[in-house]
Structure 1
Amino acid sequence: MRKIRVKFKTKSLKWQLLFRWSLILTLLLIIMGISQYFITRSYLLSGKNQVLEARLHDLDKDDLQDSKSLNNPKSKAEFLVKLISDRNTSVVIIDKKGEIISESKGINDDTAPPHLSKEEYRKLIFESAKGENYKIVRNLSDDTDMIKFKKINLLSQTLGLVQISTTLDPINTMLLNQIYFYIVASIIIIILGILIGKSVLKYTLKPLYNLTNSLERVTVGELNMRLPVDNGQIEIDGLSCAFNGMFNRIETSFENEQYIKEKMQRFISDASHEIRTPLTSIHGFVEVLLRGAAKNEKQLDLALNSILTESERLTKLVNELLMLTKLDQQIKYDMKNENIKDIIEEIHPQLKILAGERRIDLELKDNLLVKSNRNQIKQIIYNLVQNAIQQTDEKDGIISISLNSIDKPSGSFIVLKIKDNGSGIPEKDLNEIFDRFFRSDNHRSRKSGGYGLGLSIVKSIVDAHQGEISVYSKLNKGTSFSIFIKKVE
């Protein structure tokens, strides 16, 4: 359990940011420390070099002439050594062969000055322009010294070389102390940086923690909850907006699912009821026949006619349900360019038979082509006219079918309008008339009332043709259905 908690903690955003902040701070301090070390070292060595340079410049031509006036070379060298050397400076005199003639004892008179090889001395005498460069070497005591050179010239000849050196121990000690101090200061800075960074990160990540806590409280019953989008951080605000958008989609999907579930339950209930009614009638008449009614010709004829009627109603219901199932499955039908006027005129005789004494008026514009399935267009017209027949009076009923075109921003459409002067549909039912098995009270009270599937089939066919259907109705004035399908030029 402890390992899991440690692993989880190391994967947290706060820990990773704090670790990376500490790493960056440490790297910056290391880079600054190295840079400061070399800058300070260069500055101190430059200062030391200037001191030695000043000592050599104090050796003027008169001093060199005095040294040259001495007859003994060793005496000349000792003269220069005494002249230049002091408590902090060691001097070595080298002849032109690279051999040491004389030298001082060095600092505190207990250490010898550093020596180079003969080859190095001769190279400095004959190859260096002025012999005033410096080197950093280790002396016989393994301490670090800085050495600098100056040629001894007579006219155009070089007679020897003066080497002056001084210890770098004070500089090394100073640099070492600086390193120790910088390491301690850096450790303190890193610790303070971690503590301050931890507090800053805790405050900075607070909106993220609040967002996490809010999301953990979300349940199915709280899908309408929305996260605040004004947290003072653009990234967190963007995340909140994204979550709110996701909640909107989930809430909409959940509501749609609930709506579909309720519709499905009602559909199953209504379908079961509608199927059970004719089956009950058929079963009842069969029982009557089995009990002896078959011997009575009048009763037999009544029972058989009733069974036939109910079986036809059941067949019609099953066919309509099968059609809706096919439409729901979006089975592709053959689509051709059809002239809607020709289709209406083709089924007009059948419509007149269905209408009985009702009047059917046609007002059709020719040459209006749509890409459609001929049989499905017939089904639309038949269902809407059948619906109008059920709503209108048997003698005074008037059903008008008009066909026209209209231009919209999305293109040109044909408008098929079927209007009646019937009882109308209550306003409260207008939004539900395309639901399956829905029938208004007026519709249910009529003897010729169907199962409430006709308009559902019409709506599904119109959707399959990527069209639109609208309805306008007033009680006791009539109803008008308008169908819009894109026209083919």
Structure 2
Amino acid sequence: MLRRKLKIKSLKWQLLFRFLMILIILLGAMGIFQYISMKEYLYRTKVQVLQQRFHNLDFGVLSKENIKDITESDSKEILKKLKDKNMSTALIDKNGDLLLEIRNVDAPEDDNDRDEDFKELFEKKIKAIPVPVLSKEHYMNLCNEKGNLETIYEIVEDENCNFQLVAWIKVGDLDLPSGLIQLSTPIEDIQAILNQQVYVHTTLSMVILIIGTLLGTTIFKRTLKPLYNITNTVEGINITDLDKRLPEENGQLETDRLAKSFNIMLKRIESSFQKEQYIKEKMRRFVSDASHELRTPLTSIHGFVEVLLRGAAKNQDQLNLALNSILMESERLAKLVNDLLVLTKLDQQLIVEMNTENINNVIEEIFPQLQILCKNRKLKLELKNNIMVYINRNQIKQVIFNLTQNAVLHTDKNNGIITISTSIESLKDETFAVLKIIDNGTGIPKEHLSKIYDRFFRSDSHRSREHGGYGLGLSIVKSIIDSNNGEIHVESELKVGTTFSVYFKLAK
């Protein structure tokens, strides 16, 4: 039952079923049209034969004003000329009364002929064909018809319940006829021809349907083969085969579009999966690095507490050393937690309140704190007047502070030079305000330049730890600049120095 339902729902069988339905409708319509056309043709031919018989009449006798004035002998003579073994004749007056009828086996006037005719009819067992009789009103309506009724005929059922084709001709004046002559003939031969035609057409239709079913099954199977190939390929794709693509040149427009759509979908799935894997890997590394960085100050604090509990608290020098170390590690721990909270907020992509600001004023506002941060290092400002940008003031202060702190960590305590400059430059055919932090420090290896914005990445692990760095400063800088619709570029050379360039859109 399930296989039967699946077979019915199959596209191939649905197409085949609809194809056969269309074929049946077309064959049926063609058969009906052919049947009606053939029937009309045969009837018309029969009528022409009957009309041809009317040409044997003596119109001189028939031209009398009243058909009743024609003698019985003249009437029989007139009808005898129309007589045929497959026809019956009748004479009707203008009032619709039947005056005389002659059937196809009526006895002839001559006795010798009568015996011979009846003997022949008996031997052939031919039954007389009765004359179909219509109502008086019908005959009167025919008399009132225009013309000589050459194209008018009817199919009438006789007293033997057989159908005959009946034709008429007017007697006398065409406009005021004195009566009608009726000529009728059976239509069994026409019906036999029509039945034979129906039988032949039905047989040929069945043969055509059988051939159509066989050819349709083969053709539809071959036509749907690209679709089956797509189905099999898609079913065989798993998480390790997301780079697999379907052929887009199958010779069928619809199938090609379907394959192209599947390829676009697979590309998106592959991209999403790779992105998910990348995020998972970054999260794993983040958790691992964060755990490691948190463990270091916590272990140090725990160690000093144990020392104090063992009696170091009684020694003033040891007490001061332990408390200072605990304070320093707790500050480092607090800074790490605060940086992580900042990154978490930035990752949430919250709406940032931005205003038109003078970038030089922002730098000058935090310049005293930057001097304290640089200590003995030389801090220089090279600011171009009135550079208006559209930024979040407080966030950009943190960017400047973090980049300056990064320069401090990588420059000599006494000979270090840090320069903060602003200017207007062109980038990608657009004009930007540029903030640069330049140092003459140790520089960054080229292979590390693409990783410096990763969280917990440190090019020089020992130097960073000595100065309290955790590799989060540049990650925060990158996230803030992205949220302010800016760009950051870095240029560095070992033992020469590093330049961070931050590009902001100018305020309109």
TM-score of the superposition, structure 1-length normalised? 0.95
Query: Mean alpha-carbon deviation: is it higher for 434-443 or for 121-130?
Result: 121-130
Change (3 A) 1:68 1:383: closer
Which residue is equivalent to 1:163?
182
Which residue is equivalent to 1:323?
342
Alignment map for 1:231-310 (pairs within 5 Å): 231-310=250-329
Is the 1:323–1:457 contact (alpha carbons within 8 Å) kept by the matching residues of 2? yes
Q: Deviations over 1:85-108 (max 9, x none)?
A: 111221101123322121111365
Q: 2:200 aligns with which of 181, 186, 195?
A: 181
- Is 2:1 the counterpart of 1:8? no
What secondary structure sits across from 1:114 in the alignment?
coil
| CA distance in structure 2 between the partners assigned to 1:97 and 1:295 by the alignment | 153
| CA distance in structure 2 between the partners assigned to 1:154 and 1:270 by the alignment | 123
| CA distance in structure 1 between the partners assigned to 2:174 and 2:269 by the alignment | 102
Is the 2:458–2:464 contact (alpha carbons within 8 Å) kept by the matching residues of 1? no
Unaligned 5+ runs, structure 2: 106-125
Is the 1:390–1:449 contact (alpha carbons within 8 Å) kept by the matching residues of 2? no
Structure 1 residue identity aligned to 2:390: K
Is the 1:324–1:457 contact (alpha carbons within 8 Å) kept by the matching residues of 2? yes
Which residue is equivalent to 1:367?
386
Query: Mean alpha-carbon deviation: is it higher for 144-153 or for 117-126?
Result: 117-126
Q: Deviations over 1:217-276 (max 9, x none)?
A: 111111111111121211111111111111111111111111111111111111111111
- Is 2:432 the counterpart of 1:434? no
Q: 2:21 aligns with which of 20, 23, 27?
A: 23
Structure 2 residue identity aligned to 1:334: E
In percent, how many aligned pairs have the same letter? 52
Post-superposition offset of 1:332: 2.9
- Is 2:35 the counterpart of 1:37? yes
Post-superposition offset of 1:148: 1.1
| CA distance in structure 1 between the partners assigned to 2:411 and 2:67 by the alignment | 149
Unaligned 5+ runs, structure 1: none
Structure 2 residue identity aligned to 1:52: L
| CA distance in structure 1 between the partners assigned to 2:386 and 2:68 by the alignment | 135
Change (3 A) 1:17 1:154: closer
| CA distance in structure 1 between the partners assigned to 2:338 and 2:401 by the alignment | 15
Which residue is equivalent to 2:406?
387
Which residue is equivalent to 1:118?
136
Measured on the aligned residues, the alpha-carbon RMSD in Å equals 2.2
What secondary structure sits across from 2:40 in the alignment?
helix
Change (3 A) 1:393 1:174: same
Structure 2 residue identity aligned to 1:42: E
| CA distance in structure 2 between the partners assigned to 1:231 and 1:443 by the alignment | 61
Structure 2 residue identity aligned to 1:115: V
What secondary structure sits across from 2:168 in the alignment?
strand
Post-superposition offset of 1:61: 2.9
| CA distance in structure 1 between the partners assigned to 2:89 and 2:311 by the alignment | 151
How many residues were matched structurally?
487
Q: 2:217 aligns with which of 192, 198, 202?
A: 198
Alignment map for 1:319-358 (pairs within 5 Å): 319-358=338-377
Change (3 A) 1:183 1:298: same
Is the 1:340–1:368 contact (alpha carbons within 8 Å) kept by the matching residues of 2? yes
| CA distance in structure 2 between the partners assigned to 1:72 and 1:329 by the alignment | 118
Q: Deviations over 1:304-351 (max 9, x none)?
A: 111111111111111111111111112334322211100101111211
Q: 1:91 aligns with which of 82, 89, 92?
A: 89
What secondary structure sits across from 1:361 in the alignment?
strand
What secondary structure sits across from 1:331 in the alignment?
coil
Is the 1:152–1:162 contact (alpha carbons within 8 Å) kept by the matching residues of 2? yes
What secondary structure sits across from 1:370 in the alignment?
strand
Post-superposition offset of 1:66: 10
| CA distance in structure 1 between the partners assigned to 2:417 and 2:473 by the alignment | 20
Is the 2:63–2:172 contact (alpha carbons within 8 Å) kept by the matching residues of 1? no
Structure 2 residue identity aligned to 1:195: L
| CA distance in structure 2 between the partners assigned to 1:227 and 1:260 by the alignment | 28
Is the 1:335–1:372 contact (alpha carbons within 8 Å) kept by the matching residues of 2? yes
Alignment map for 1:386-425 (pairs within 5 Å): 386-408=405-427, 411-425=430-444
Q: Deviations over 1:8-56 (max 9, x none)?
A: 1111101110110111100110110001011111111111111111111
Change (3 A) 1:157 1:349: closer
